[in-house]
Structures are given as C-alpha cells and as structure tokens.
Structure 1
Amino acid sequence: MNPFEIPGPQLRRMGETRPVPGEVAALHGWLHSRRLVLLKTLLTRAERAQLPAAAARALREHWALLEDAELHDPAAARGALGYPAAGNWLAHALAAPSGDGFVAALAGLGPLAATVATAAGCDFRLDLTAQDQRLTLPGLGSYRTGAQRVRMVATGDTVTFLPQGGRPTSLLRDALRGPQAPAPAPPPTPWRPLSPLPGAPAVLDDQDPHLAQETGRAGLAGLLPAGVTAPDEACEWRELWARALDLLHEADPERAAEVATLVRAVVPVLWKPDGRASATRLAAPWAVLTTLPETPEEMAEVLVHEVQHSKLAVLGGVVQLNHESAEAVYRVGWRSDPRPLGAVVQGTYAHLALADLWGRFARRASATPAERAAARRRAADYGAQVDHALFLLLGSGQLTREGTEFVEGMRHRYERLSSPGGRAVAGYADNADNAADTADAGNTENAADRLTNGHFG
C-alpha cells in the first residue's frame, strides 16, 4: 500500500466535514509531503536549466540550509515550510518561464530557506535579493530597504539584516519567528512583522509578494490583494477574528478548535466596490483570502467555508476524487455559472459545513428568537443546495472510487442533518469556489520524507 492510499472509512469520515481525531495531523503530513515533492520538482527543473554559475551556487546554498534546518528542528522546519505563502512562491516558481524569468523566481528559495532556518533556530549567513524595496520572509514579515541585496546573519538569539551600503538592524530571533502582541507605539524600524490574530497561531498577512504579482483579477479569481496600513484597520480585523472565534466556541467548540488550529493566515483582499467575497488558493491551504466581513457571524462563516476548501485542497493533492471532462459542467445553487465537477465537489463540501454551522447557530443559548429563525432559514437554504449537488455528484459517473467514498460521507452527513431529529440544514456564496489557480506539479505518490539527496548538475 502506498503511503497515500487512504482507506474508504477514513474518506467517508472526512466527507462528513466534521473534525475527527487524527485528521489535523494527517492533513499536515500530506501537505508537507506535497511541499517536498514540489521542491524536488523545482530542483529537477533547475538541474536541467543550466543555470548561470551564481544562481547555481545560490541554489546549492539555499537547499543546504533547508536540509540543516530540517535536521536541527524538524517540527519547526515543517511548520515554516507549510506556511501558505511558501506554497504561493512554489506555484509562482514552477510556472515561471524558462530563462531569466525562472532564474529570478528561483531566487525566492533564499528567503524561504532563511525563514525555515530562523524558525528552526539555525545559525546562518545568507545574501538575499530584495524585491520592490523589501525582503519578505514568508510567515514572519518583511524588511524594508532601498538596497537590492541584504545580508541576513543569524547567530544565537540574534538576527541581523545588513543592507548593501546601509545600516544594520538587529532583532531578537524570537521577535521574528513568533507573532508578538502588538505594541502601542513600536519604535521606528525597517522590520515590519505580521500582525498576530488572538487565540490562535494565525496572522493577518498582507505581505505576500507573489499574490501582488498575479496578473490582475484573473490571477486571484477576481480578487486583488489589499494592504493594511492603518493601525485601526488591523484592530478591526483582530476584533472580528476574536468575536468570530467566540461565536464558534459557543455554537460548535469542535469547529472553533479546527479553525484556530488550521488557519495560518487571513489575507485581506478587495473585490468589486462594496462587494464581499472569499477564496482559497489550492497552492496555499490554510490561508483565508477575504474582504472585510461586516459581522462576526459572517466572519465565522467565511472561516468555516474556506477551511473546508483548504482541507479538500490538501486531500486532492494526494488522492484523485473525480475525472474531469471539458464537456461536462453542472449548475449549482451557489453559483450562476456552470461548474466543472471538481468545483461542484469543492462547493458541496464547503456548503455542507455551512448547513451544519447555521443549524448550530440556531441552537445557541444566547440567540434571540429572530436570530434562531434567521439561522434556520440559512441552514435550510444551504441544505437545499447541498441536496441538489449531491444528486449531481452521485449521478455524474465522474467520481473515482475514492471520490465515491468521500461523497458518500457527505451524503451520510446531509441525511443526518436533514432528519427530523437532527435538523441543522444552511450564505456566504463565496466568489471563488475552487480557485484552482496554482501551478502545482509533481506526483505525490513518489513523495520523499526528507529534503536530502538533492544534487546539482
């Protein structure tokens, strides 16, 4: 049995959308293996590309540092490598055109290696390339500089940035690698950390350079990255996050724990004027791309919705759930445009979780009669959408054996929700279901467990 052959009962349990014991560890393990496969795919392409000597030396140095970090603290290295922005960079690099474009994209391995080594507690010295006047360390923050090159030196508890021709900046390593409580009036510094979100290891991340490099709205399913520049903006995001988690804790403690454990980043985005939307990039699970919700209920819905997309993005990287057909498209209740079957699987999975969520909102002890009635209507609306979509999926003839097991799990959960004794059936019809805009490559069935054994021609 290959390491990613998932038994039918496990697929059915995952299809029910409810958190189950051991699922988080499995998801993280699958994502890590996928990241290693993609890194080695990138390495293979680099070996065949006949890189310029300087780029080849840098690649060897960056790869060696990744190996050192993994040996020094495997858990910390794995966590840093699993950050969503690392997946966005990998997708960007794998899709880069040959020649100068690929060489430039490959330089992004340096900041990633520096981030992983910082998290793992390694000492190192790297010369890194800044882009658009900043050096971004994915998941940590960015160093603003007018220099094109920055030397980063980590020794013991201290990390120092030495911009070419500029003054050095030294910080405690712990101030870089862990979200810190926001200071009321931080001293001016070129280092801009990511803003932590309370009650979880998640951060508010508006610094991913590879989202900004997308080709307009087409690259992010109609969304555009948004910067958070004013302190009161970050406070508004943090307050909404905290109130949404409190709401989830009251209505569904297991779901609250799932969101707090799995979400690594909330990424502010813009859509059409006054429009609200959210999305998940398949290349970057555990990042919730969203416009600013108006209420804690809406924020909770967005988080639960996009976590399901992330879970399915990770699962879809290790098992094939369906066969696609250019001719076969389906109409579903949450979209006006016809969708391919993979998008129907994604949307059904997310909306099933929302049917469950709104049913639980209706049973909250603190809910008013009007809130209960509104929540029941939302649950019923989502339930009707899921009912129709399940009919399409099971009658499509496009599901694999694994996909059939998974969808049977969804059907079982829906039947429990819609039964007279368990009625909990549920909109936030997000604008970007199945935002499959990644350039992932490689075969996870051949995933290696470590970064070692890389070589360069």
Structure 2
Amino acid sequence: MITDHYVLTAAQFDGLAAGYGTPDALAMLRQGQLAKRKILLQGVLAAYPGPAVDLLLRAEEADAAVTGEVLRHPHVDAWAAQALRHGTAFGYLAQLAAAAAVRAGLSFAIDAPVSHGWAYLPGLGAVPADGGTVTVTPAVLGADGWEPLRSVELEPGYAVAIEDLEPFRDTYHWRPAPRLDAAAFAHAAALLRDAWQILTRRHPEHAAAMRVLLRSVVPLLRPESGASVSAASRQASGSVAVVITDTAEELSLLLLHEFMHMKLDALRDLVDLHASGAAGRFLAPWRMDPRPVGPLFQGVYAHTGVTDYWRARRGEPDAPAVAELEFAYWRRQSAIAAESLAESGELTTEGERFVRGLRETLGRWEREAVAPDVADKADAMVLAQTVRWRLRNWRPSRTELAEMTGAWQAGSTPVARKSGVLRTDADGEPSGMPGLVGLIRSSRVSTPETADKAAAALLAGHPREACSAYTLRVTTGHPDDDSLIGWAVAAAAVDPDLAVALRMRPDLAQEALRSIRDTDQCDFLRCLGRSLRMI
C-alpha cells in the first residue's frame, strides 16, 4: 500500500465497486498514483545521486505543480520499478529531470541517454541523436528533427497523448508500434475522437472517470493472428495500449475494457482486496487456464465493463445482430467469475465488500430481459465454455476413477466428488470463443458452415437428434473434447441426468468412458449425474 493518507470514502469505494466511480474517487486514485511514483523515485534518487537529482529538485522547487505533472507521466512507474529491480536505466532520470526543468522554465544543460536513436523527454517529445548520450538544454524543443509528443483533443479541455516515443512503453504484453507516420497518426486521431464520442454519449459515467485518469494511448503492433489486442499495465497507470482498430466502435470497447483494468490497478495500490500470497486457482471464463485471485479480480472487473458496453450497444438502431447475445453471454460469465471470487476464501474485508457491490450490479443486469432464443444461445455458450475449461484443467484422481468404475461394475451406485484435481501444468492462454461457442455465436448472424452433423443438428435446433449423434460418437470410442462439449449442450435439453454429469464432471466422464467397455456407458453417466445432484 502507498500510504494511509489516501483513503477513499465509503461512497467512493462503493461507486468503484459498482463498476463505475465518481470523478472525486478517480481523483483520489490519481493522487495515490503520484504518491506511488514519488516513493519509487525516492528509491532511485537514493541509489543514483548526481546532476539529474539536483536538476529535478531545482524544478520541484521552482514549480511543484508542473514537476508533479511530469511525474504523473504513465511510464515513469515502469522505468523506476525496472531501475530499482535491475539497477539499470538510471539515465532516464536525466530525461525526466530535463522535462521537468523545461516545463518549470529553468536554464540548464544535462547529458541524457539515447535509446533507439532518440533522446526522449517524458511528456514533451524526443530529438534524434547518434551515440550513447546527447546534451539537452531548453533549446532542444526547437532543435532540428525535434518530434513533439502528439496529442488528440477529444473535447475542449481534454486531450490524450498518442505515446509512440516513450522508451518504456514496452511494459505491456504486446509489442508497441514504432513512431506513427503522419497518415497513421491522423487515422488514429480520427478513430479516437469518434470512439470518445461513442463513450461520452453511450457510457457517460465511464467517460467521466476516464477524463480524470486516462492520459495517453500506446499504439500496439497488430499480432500475426490479426486480432485486435489491447492491454493495461499496473506499472503504467494513466495509459492503455491498443491496436488501432478499423472502427471506432471496436476501439471504444477496447478503451473501456482496458480502462477498467487500469482503474482497478490504481485502487489495488491503495486497498488490499485479497490476501497476499494467495495460492488458489479459479475459473476465469475468458481464459483456458486457472487464474489466481488477483488476475481473476482484474478479469471480472474488466468484463463487467465489456458487459456494460454490450448492454448499452444492444438497444441502438445500428447494433450488430450479436449485440444482445454478447450482453447475455458476458453478464452470465462475469457473474460466474464474481461468484468464484466471493467463494475463494482469499478476499480481505474490503475485497468482500467490493465483490458484493460488483455482484449487485451484475445481478441487476441479470434481471434485464433478453429475447428467449438469445437467452438459450447464451446459456449454451456458457455451458460449452465451462465444459471445455473443466476438460482442460480438471482430471479425476486415480483413486476416484478406480472407485467409481469399480463400484459400477460391481453393481453398486458410484458416488462422485464435486470436482476433480486441478492440473498444475495447464498452459495459460486466452480462450477466445473456440469450437461450439463460436459456432453458436455465428448462428446469431447466419447459418454457420460445419461438416459435423451432430453440431449442425444442434445449431439447427434439433437437440434430440444431436444428442443421439453425439452419444453414438462418444460411446463408440471417440470421447474427445469437442464431442463431449457438444454432447453436454445437446443433453441439457433432453437428458437432465446425463447433462449434469457432463457439465459438472466432464473429466471423470471422459476417463470413465475410456475405462467402461462392457456395460451401458450412458447408464453409468446418468447414475453419475444423479449422484452429483445430491452434493
């Protein structure tokens, strides 16, 4: 925690927990971030005394307000943390001091390092230079080749920087883009303005929070997959990183998603929401790996913002056909993940209060009506994604499997456990909407093409036919993940006991199907389902 001096009121805290946050609450988070930077900077100054320290102190004495603005530069945090952790990159302190001195109107000369051909002054811009260092004076702003940090005015009095010069902007998971040329910058600026209009019109509470905390946007290189990726970093509060998308709608969603991450990170620097050293791993429906409580907290909060986006988007005349389905799907998945948080046993008192507030918001949205066919599709998508996650991450213990199959073959009723053993070797990866989940989503727009006759029957609204097809496939020796997922979704409509077994213990069902060959496998799974109902 930063300091006890930055304490949110109950109303401010509850507003953030509801998914939003008033401007005064965001102002407190902003002050907390400046305090965090100053604490980090004190460590750097103690480790690296020299002319840069003297210049920064002169700037502070001359104009504390503008020096504070320089220290609010989002990536100061990333630099200071790296300098203290690795004992490197102390030269950035000269760049920081020079930026503060320029803004404070001081006369000075200081040697600053060159990175990738640029000597960068945080929040101001960069000058091209050869060699390891360059002497910086106030005249640098008018030097040949000076490249200012470019900003986009989103509305009168509020602008965000397009940060494509900062040497520490690689603090995100994705690779940052190089300096944008004039055409690329103009395209990004136009999209940002249009995205901001969408946010202020459709999501005014989120926009009000962004005005306080969001200072810059880092353009990212689009990955080879072509996906529109985005990121936030706890070491770069005030900035989000995004691929510059093709549409303002897509960009507004990315900005909202990442701002939710950034907002929660800033809160976590003031308040402990979960126990330190928490060791549990939990279902996060947007990923295929079990997540610790901290990242799960982040994911729930960010996807509450995603849900809110689709909640508002679905009611507009030009809303895409999938908008209502996206809302129904993400509100359910966010509620499931929030329930996992609440039951984790790893939350502090403040964390429990925060999750209660978040669940109240999600609960209200759960009561909002959606078309019955949309609700059915969303339920099927949630089920398919849940079964896939459990197949990937759970496995029955050898003892459990032996007891279950042994009891069945001996004519006794098998008694199941609620969950399997969580795998420790699961690779972390985002889930996207693989397999049947993506097909169901696509069916909202058009009839998706698939060579899988069982899946085609399911998508066409014939669950009994689909269930029969999946049953034949699985019981004749092909209990692969996709078949079990489809079987679970089809069975949900026609065979409740079978559906329970496949939903709650697909890992055990898969292994049991491979072990039981001389008896009715479906009867075994139905018995398993009845056993699970009693837990």
Give the structure, 1 or 2, with the largest relative contact order (CA under 8 Å, sep 6 or more).
1
Match of 1:401 among 344, 349, 357: 349
Gaps of 5+ in 1: 47-55, 97-101, 154-158, 162-168, 172-188, 213-218, 434-457
CA distance 1:358–1:272, shift in 2 (3 Å) = same
Paired residues of 2:40 and 2:77 also in contact (CA < 8 A)? no
Q: 1:234 aligns with which of 185, 207, 211?
A: 185
Alignment equivalent of 1:25, drawn from 27, 43, 49 = 27
- Residues 422 and 139 (structure 1 numbering): CA distance in 2 closer, same or farther, change over 3 Å? farther
- Paired residues for 1:97-176 under 5 Å: 102=87, 104-153=88-137, 159-161=138-140, 170=142
| Whole-angstrom distance in 2 between the partners of 1:12 and 1:373 | 34
Instruction: For 1:241 and 1:229, locate their aligned partners in 2 and report how far apart those are by CA, in whole Å.
Output: 15
For 1:64 and 1:255, how far apart are their aligned partners in 2? 40
SS at match of 2:345: coil
Residue 432 of structure 1 deviates from its aligned partner by 8.1
Question: Which residue is 1:274 aligned to?
Answer: 226
Q: Deviations over 1:56-106 (max 9, x none)?
A: 5xx33222322332333333222211111212211221221xxxxx2x511
Residue 41 of structure 1: SS of its match in structure 2?
helix
TM-score, length-scaled by structure 2:
0.64
TM-score when normalising by structure 1: 0.74
Q: 1:244·1:296 contact (CA, 8 Å) conserved in 2? A: yes
Cα 1:248–1:132 change in 2 (3 A) is: closer
Distance 1:144 1:432 in 2: 38
* The 10-residue stretch of structure 1 (262-271 or 274-283) with the greater mean CA deviation from structure 2: 262-271
Q: Deviations over 1:296-334 (max 9, x none)?
A: 111001111111111111111122111255641112111
**Partner Cα distance (2:349, 2:161) in 1:** 38
Q: 1:375 aligns with which of 323, 326, 351?
A: 323
Per-residue deviation at 1:287?
1.3
After the TM superposition, which residues 233-252 of structure 1 pair with which residues of structure 2 at under 5 Å, given as runs?
233-252=184-203
Q: How many residues align?
A: 370
Code of the aligned partner of 2:19? T
Greater displacement, 85-94 / 24-33: 85-94
Distance 1:326 1:409, change over 3 A: closer
Q: What is the DSSP-based 3-state SS (H/G/I as helix, E as strand, rest coil) of the residue aligned with 2:194?
A: helix
Aligned equivalents of 1:64, 1:283: Cα separation in 2: 25
1:82 to 72, 83, 86: 72
1 CA distance for matches of 2:259 and 2:24?
16
Alignment partners' CA distance in 2, 1:31 and 1:131: 26
Moved more, 284-293 or 373-382: 373-382
**Could you tell me which residue of structure 2 aligns to residue 357 of structure 1?**
309
Deviating more after overlay: 257-266 vs 280-289: 257-266
Bigger CA radius of gyration: 2
- Taking the aligned partners of 1:381 and 1:71, their CA distance within structure 2 comes to 54
In the TM superposition, what whole-angstrom CA distance separates every residue of 1:211-262 from its partner, at most 9, and x where no partner exists?
A: 45xxxxxx743x1121144321111111111110111122123323333442
- 1:432 & 1:26 partners in 2: Cα distance? 32
Q: Is the 8 A contact 2:300 2:338 kept in 1?
A: yes
Would you say the 8 A contact 2:271–2:350 is kept in 1?
Answer: yes
When residues 406 and 40 of structure 1 are mapped into structure 2, their CA distance, relative to the original with a 3 A threshold, is same
Distance in structure 2 (CA, Å) of the matches to 1:298 and 1:194: 25
Give the structure 2 partner of residue 194 of structure 1.
149
**C-alpha distance in 2 between matches for 1:403 and 1:83:** 29
Amino acid corresponding to residue 38 of structure 1 in structure 2? L
Shift of 1:349: 0.7
Greater strand share, 1 or 2? 1
Q: Secondary structure at the residue paired with 1:123?
A: coil
Query: For residue 210 of structure 1, what is the amino acid of its counterpart?
Result: F
- Deviation sequence 1:335-380 (CA, Å, 0-9, x none): 122111101110111111221222122334xx33xx1653322222
> Structure 2 matches for 1:41-80, cutoff 5 A?
41-44=43-46, 46=47, 59-80=49-70
**Alignment of 1:207 onto 2:145:** no
Asked if 1:410 is matched to 2:364, the reply is: no
Structure 1 residue 14: deviation in Å? Answer: 1.2
Amino acid at match of 2:55: L
Structure 1 residues 329 and 152, CA gap change in structure 2 (3 angstroms): same
Does the Cα contact within 8 Å between 1:276 and 1:291 map onto a contact in 2?
Answer: yes
The 8 Å contact of residues 129 and 150 in structure 1, kept in 2 or not, is answered as yes
Corresponding position: 1:342 with 2:291: no
Q: CA deviation at 1:17?
A: 1.8
Contact 2:30 2:212 in 1 (8 A): no
Q: Which amino acid aligns with 1:198?
A: E
Deviations along 1:82-135, one digit per CA (max 9) or x if unpaired, are 111212211221221xxxxx2x51121110111122233333332223233321
SS at 1:22's partner residue? helix
User: Which consecutive unaligned segments of at least 5 residues does structure 2 have?
Assistant: 379-428, 432-535
Indicate how the Cα distance of structure 1 residues 290 and 432 shifts in structure 2: closer, same or farther if over 3 A, else same.
farther
Report if the CA contact (8 A) 2:45-2:53 is conserved: no
